[in-house]
Structure 1
Amino acid sequence: MSVRSTLLYTALFAASAVAAPAAWAQAQEPAPPMNQAPAPSSAASANISDQKIEQFADAYVAVQTIQEKAANDLQTAKEPAQADQVKAKAESDMIAAVEKSGLKVDEFNQIVETMTANADVRERVAAKLQERQGGG
């Protein structure tokens, strides 16, 4: 698996917290240690445009669907070569889905990293995902 897709898979697992209600996400945000200021990059990267949030939500939904299909296909794979084919196809499909949304894989991963450090970004993404699931 390439570094790009490894990050994408990692991003998906990290982003899965987004599906939780915003209140849960807020409650899960750890306080910075007393002797350490919050990372300056998280404040700067919190200025993610609404368009990027929209693109991220589109990409996230598509990537999640691809990942679910791949997980099902891996359960039925009978040989390691077949499993490798499933993983390779899922990887290329996820990268294509992210790029189709208008984001680069690096941008997608950066938004995920920002979400882990910034409750406001998590809430904005969660709201967009709820809209796409018919809940908002």
Structure 2
Amino acid sequence: MSLRSHLVYTALFAASAVAAPAAWAQVQEPASPAQEYPSPAGEAQTPPMNEAPESSSAASAQISDQKIEQFADAYVAVQTIQEKAASDLQTAKEPAQADQVKQKAESDMIAAVEKSGLKVDEFNHIVETMTANADVRERVAAKLQERQGGG
């Protein structure tokens, strides 16, 4: 997958992940089966393999407030580009015209990310971190709400 295609897919994922920032504050980690269904007395319980609370907060601390600010700026710009491209794609009459719209949107999204001060791989890293780290999701959601006049 090319860098451009990866950015487009990542941006689309980010758009879906950030579409409901207010809901993120209410997202809770799912309970492990051991928490939902306690084992009978006397059976040893093994902790879930995927629990690593220190790594979650460590990942959040590794993303500076400045990077979160830059990500929010880039996200808003990318979302605007995506909305325009979606509208333009609906009016495209020829496949070649649709391809041109997609290519322009990809170029514009890359430029928007870079204009924010982030590299494309930094943008993608923050998106990936958001999927696994509620603190990062909440920090991004707060910045986006500020930009939308909600905070």
Which TM bucket (shorter chain)?
A: 0.7 to 0.9
SS at match of 1:27: coil
- Shift of residue 63, structure 1, vs aligned partner: 0.2
Match of 1:53 in 2: 68
Alpha-carbon distance in 2 for matches of 1:118, 1:49:
14
- Shift of residue 20, structure 1, vs aligned partner: 1.9
1:66-114 Cα distance to aligned partner (Å, 9 max, x none)? 0010011011111111001000000000000000000000000000000
Q: Is the 8 A contact 1:5 1:95 kept in 2?
A: no
1:21-40 maps to which residues of 2 (within 5 A)?
A: 21-24=21-24, 26-27=26-27, 29=29, 33-34=48-49, 37=52, 40=55
Q: 1:80 to 1:51 in 2, by over 3 A?
A: same
Q: Is the 8 A contact 1:14 1:116 kept in 2?
A: no
Relative to the length of structure 1, the TM-score reads 0.83
Q: Is the 8 A contact 1:18 1:25 kept in 2?
A: no
Q: 1:92 to 1:134 in 2, by over 3 A?
A: same
Unaligned runs of 5+ in 1: none
Q: 1:24 to 1:123 in 2, by over 3 A?
A: closer
Q: 1:32 to 1:82 in 2, by over 3 A?
A: farther
Q: Is the 8 A contact 1:98 1:105 kept in 2?
A: yes
Q: Is the 8 A contact 2:24 2:141 kept in 1?
A: no
1:107-128 Cα distance to aligned partner (Å, 9 max, x none)? 0000000000100000000000
Unaligned runs of 5+ in 2: 30-45
Q: Is the 8 A contact 1:56 1:108 kept in 2?
A: yes
Alpha-carbon distance in 2 for matches of 1:38, 1:32:
13
Q: Is the 8 A contact 1:70 1:90 kept in 2?
A: yes
Bigger mean CA offset, 39-48 vs 104-113: 39-48
Sequence identity, in percent?
A: 91
SS at match of 1:46: helix
Q: Is the 8 A contact 2:69 2:143 kept in 1?
A: yes
Aligned residues: 135
1:9-66 Cα distance to aligned partner (Å, 9 max, x none)? 334324432232455455254x995466579588335421000000000000000000
Structure with more helix by fraction: 1
